[in-house]
Amino acid sequence: MSRLVLRTPSQWDHKLLVKWRNQSLSYFYSSSPITLESHLEWYEQIELDDTQQFYAIGLGHTCMGAIGLKDIDLVHKRAEYGRLIIAPSYRGQGYGRHALLSLLDYAFGGLDLNRVYGYILANNFPGLATALSVGFSIEGVLNQHVYKDAVYLDVISVGILADDWRDS
C-alpha cells in the first residue's frame, strides 16, 4: 500500500465517487442519492473554501475512494475529518485505514493541527473500527442526533490529539 496517495480528484474520479456514495447510503447522514451535477457543484464550493479539503484516494491512476477535512481552524488548530468512502471492491483490505493515516500525517505535520475529530453514525461499524484502529478515542455519543429513514440514529464523536498521534 505504499503507493497509496491522496490527490486532487479527476473528472473520472468524481463519477466513481458519486456511484460509490450512492451504493453506501447507510453510512451517510442523508438517505438521498446524489447526482454528478450536485456533487460537482458541492466540490466547486470545497475548492473555494480554505477551511475544507477533499482528496481522492489513489493507487497509481486507480481511484479507490475519497477522504477529507472540513472546518479547518488554524487558530484553534483543529479540523473535522470525514467524507471517507472506499470503493466496494477495496473495502476490508486496509485502504481506508491507510488513507486515514495519510490524512492524519498531513493534518498533524503539514497543517500543524493539534486535534482532529469526527462524527460517525453508530451503525457504521467499519467507519468506527477504522477510526479506533489509528488511535482515535470515543469522546461521546450524540443520542438520536440524526433522523434517517424514519428512525433516530446515534452519532459517535471521536477525536485524536497531535501528542497522542506522535506517541503512537
Residue 102: CATH number of its domain: 3.40.630.30
What separation in angstroms does the CA of 103 have from each of 20, 26, 79, 110, 152? 20, 23, 11, 10, 30
The pLDDT score that the predictor gives to residue 166 is 83
**Which residues of the chain, if any, have pLDDT below 50?**
none
The pLDDT score that the predictor gives to residue 2 is 56
The pLDDT score that the predictor gives to residue 61 is 85
The pLDDT score that the predictor gives to residue 134 is 96
> What does the pLDDT look like over 16-46, one tens digit per residue?
999 999 999 888 999 999 999 999 999 999 9
Q: Tally the domains of the chain.
A: 1
Q: Which three cell numbers stand for residue 3?
A: 503507493
Neighbours of 65 (CB within 10 A): 26
Residue 145: give the domain boundaries.
Answer: 4-167
What separation in angstroms does the CA of 146 have from each of 39, 47, 168? 22, 27, 32
162: closest CA among 127, 110, 87?
110
